Structure 1
């Protein structure tokens, strides 16, 4: 037999012992596996609702060139974001949808409650921090809540950063240096070789409050801007004020800003991939700022400045907003600090009383950046000064109202009663009208008949007698007889006198009848 024996994992040389076996397959397999390992990127999505978070995931996966989602390879990854911290993943494909550029892990959290924030801490470590992007979702359905929501989420992030270990904080310091220098050459992203080394210095208000993690604010449902203008009566002043306020705040953190809508995600995917360092092998996509189209705003990182913010509209206090924002985000509640550090409150220790956020801000000296914004962009559903009056209610409901169905049932009964009353009144009016019409008809008819045929006459023994005149005389006779009977206190002894009087009256009556037609 030959002295050399071969196996699947090694070769024995003729002049070597069994312990000196040389492995040849293992290094080859390691090289192949490392070459096919996908870059891992992390996306921490904060805010929104489970529905708006799903819309954001669809927008991130949509290609901006043709607004089409890439075909799913196999089973579509599930999205678990109904409770506490959610998770899903996406494979970032190249332009031809053939090569996979990176694996994107997405962590979703909708509530900035201190009870949920410790769930994020395990994912902030030296391995993931250099490849992580934080996204805060805002909704154009409620723009009056934006600054308060941003303040709460920035406080959460700052408290989490303070609770990290020393190794993670060192990585954050390196990230800050890298992020501040990214894209700051005079030539920009497409800078020529002559200007690549010329750095643009940072201006006032820029990177005053760095987080160590790149931040992107996404304002969803920008198509609602027209509805705000039509239904709320907003004008360009309100929209410019919101944009200037957001840009001033985000400039302090070196963050980016983009407006999106479900039908047109715009440059959202390009902005996310650029922040995470995901580059296409076939086509290099460039970010182009846009601050003129109010529903397609895009502010890349390290592009904005106070001078550019002032150009949008005069009279905006950039310095004041920038200073007050630093005070707002520095007020981290003691309870949030304890929960994020994993500490529990001791029963014997004295704890600060629970004070509503609005009341605490009113007790401070001067208005804060949050209250200034909310005084200008007011909440039409519930005014904050009015809501403070009901802050002591246990159920948290500002105005108790009746159930809609119960209210409608009561209104149906009221409407039925009113309908019956209207019907009865209509019947009475109709009957009265019929009587009046009959009376009017009979009176008019009698007058017309008399006018047409003249007085009614008849022949009595060859004498023409006027019936109306005869009736009138009989009525006068009865009247005179009644008056005479009242004037006579004692009746006559015999009936001779009364009989004579009756005869005389009858004779005068008929003689008058006889004379009238003869005179005629």
Structure 2
């Protein structure tokens, strides 16, 4: 359309000059005709222009960012086959990524808005110049910051949240005055919305008896540190809560502490909080749409808080308060945590994976005396793997289920030494014990064995053989053979030997109950 307007404006002088030389219509009428076309074209363009919304997705990995976009784009009630498979690609492998999504109405036909998603995984100060152009006086009112956390490492949440807030503050401070004014107006609008109501109904506001708008005073710890842009914290992978409970021995105290800590900090920024589980229905889409001001023309979407189900937590913006946080579990120091957080977010961002000095929870923060909110959190919610690495065996918690394995070669060397010691002990015990002696030999004692087992017979090739008779004949044969070897044999002995063999085979043939080989057995 811009190109069309330019062509029309560039061609109109030539047409006016021709008209002046050929007695055509006055040029004033040509100018009015041009204005009519421009207004018509602009009206059609404005009618088809989609509302532009922006999501600034911070944290997570390329995979978890894609998971968030899939959950945000999913429609649990209807799938339009015509649009299926036409989702735009996601470019989020390096530095600042980008993609977009069209938000469809309940009938999946009308497009309500186009959401541009900018994705950044690491809170490095080097990426601050990439975020600055995204925040303009026009884009700030239509932008929502989404911070992704994951239940695979909840002990890093507060440190990550702190570094992202520090990075955002460093970017927002560097913006021009016009953008800062718009940010202040945006935060004022969010802060003044009536709690517990949708943005559409909150915009009308309540009325007092005098007819003026009702102003609800802010409670302690609310909107102390507004960032100038609405923020939503999404804790992904809530199905891992059960794994933390079974594998690492976590209890309700740990989960309640995490929830109280997060809600206390997010209350200062006016941010919302939600726990999500992959492939399960949740209120993420409704929360994002409500935060961006996207409302269906056909179906009213309700957004209700949930602070009971530990894997389906939903805390909308402007709903929470210290009183609601305190009842989760007594003993939580909201005042101390809130004050410490306001102090430490003033510093510039630091690397998240900085080496810990000493035990878990200790770090090189300026407030390493225990007053840092990050330190307080990490002293209570510890990394189970790091805890087992540095813990002394005598001080290891009884509910600790993980142990750190030693080096393979060192383990085998120790086991080899243990096996050698056991072998020596066995040899020593074996040498000290007397060798057991048999009281009798079944070959020598004929009486006692025969009393118990009786005559031993077996069938050999169809011939029934008496084992006792066979043994006796073998002994006789061995005796005659030994005599022959000693040189005392004589022709008569040889004859006796042959006679013995003949008698042996004759006995095999004539054994009662047997039959000669080759003949049918009786």
TM-score by length of 2: 0.67
Secondary structure in 2 aligned to 1:233? coil
Which residue is 2:365 aligned to?
361
Greater gyration radius: 1
Secondary structure in 1 aligned to 2:441? helix
Q: Deviations over 1:346-391 (max 9, x none)?
A: xxxxxxxx9989543266454311111111111112149959xxxx
- Cα offset for 1:408? 8.9
Which residue is 1:374 aligned to?
378
Query: Cα distance 1:446–1:146, how it changes in 2: closer, same or farther (>3 A)?
Result: same
Query: Cα distance 1:72–1:355, how it changes in 2: closer, same or farther (>3 A)?
Result: same
Paired with 1:450 and 1:235, the residues of 2 have a C-alpha distance of 70
Q: Deviations over 1:211-262 (max 9, x none)?
A: 0100000000111111111111211111111111100000000000000011
Matched, 1:318 2:334: yes
Q: Which among 281, 287, 300 is matched to residue 284 of structure 1?
A: 300
Q: Which among 56, 63, 85 is matched to residue 51 of structure 1?
A: 63
Q: Which among 118, 124, 130 is matched to residue 119 of structure 1?
A: 130
Secondary structure in 2 aligned to 1:115? helix
Which residue is 1:504 aligned to?
none
The answer as to whether partners of 2:238 and 2:311 remain within 8 angstroms in 1 is yes
Query: Cα distance 1:411–1:232, how it changes in 2: closer, same or farther (>3 A)?
Result: same
Secondary structure in 2 aligned to 1:96? coil
- Cα offset for 1:194? 8.9
Which residue is 1:442 aligned to?
441
Matched, 1:228 2:237: no
Which residue is 1:329 aligned to?
345
Q: Count how many residue pairs are aligned between Structure 1 and Structure 2.
A: 401
Secondary structure in 2 aligned to 1:134? strand
Q: Which among 260, 264, 273 is matched to residue 257 of structure 1?
A: 273
- Cα offset for 1:188? 8.8
The answer as to whether partners of 2:199 and 2:290 remain within 8 angstroms in 1 is no
Runs (5+) with no aligned partner, structure 1: 1-6, 337-353, 388-399, 453-520
Q: Which among 23, 27, 40 is matched to residue 18 of structure 1?
A: 27
The answer as to whether partners of 1:208 and 1:252 remain within 8 angstroms in 2 is yes
Runs (5+) with no aligned partner, structure 2: 1-7, 208-212, 392-403, 452-522
Query: Cα distance 1:117–1:450, how it changes in 2: closer, same or farther (>3 A)?
Result: closer
The answer as to whether partners of 1:77 and 1:89 remain within 8 angstroms in 2 is yes
Paired with 1:192 and 1:214, the residues of 2 have a C-alpha distance of 16
Paired with 2:384 and 2:449, the residues of 1 have a C-alpha distance of 77
TM-score by length of 1: 0.68
Query: Cα distance 1:187–1:112, how it changes in 2: closer, same or farther (>3 A)?
Result: closer
Matched, 1:240 2:256: yes
The answer as to whether partners of 2:198 and 2:290 remain within 8 angstroms in 1 is no
The answer as to whether partners of 1:70 and 1:97 remain within 8 angstroms in 2 is no
Which residue is 2:479 aligned to?
none
Q: Output aligned runs, 1:406-485, within 5 Å.
A: 407=408, 439-442=438-441, 445-446=444-445
Q: Deviations over 1:466-510 (max 9, x none)?
A: xxxxxxxxxxxxxxxxxxxxxxxxxxxxxxxxxxxxxxxxxxxxx
Query: Cα distance 1:276–1:370, how it changes in 2: closer, same or farther (>3 A)?
Result: same
Matched, 1:275 2:286: no
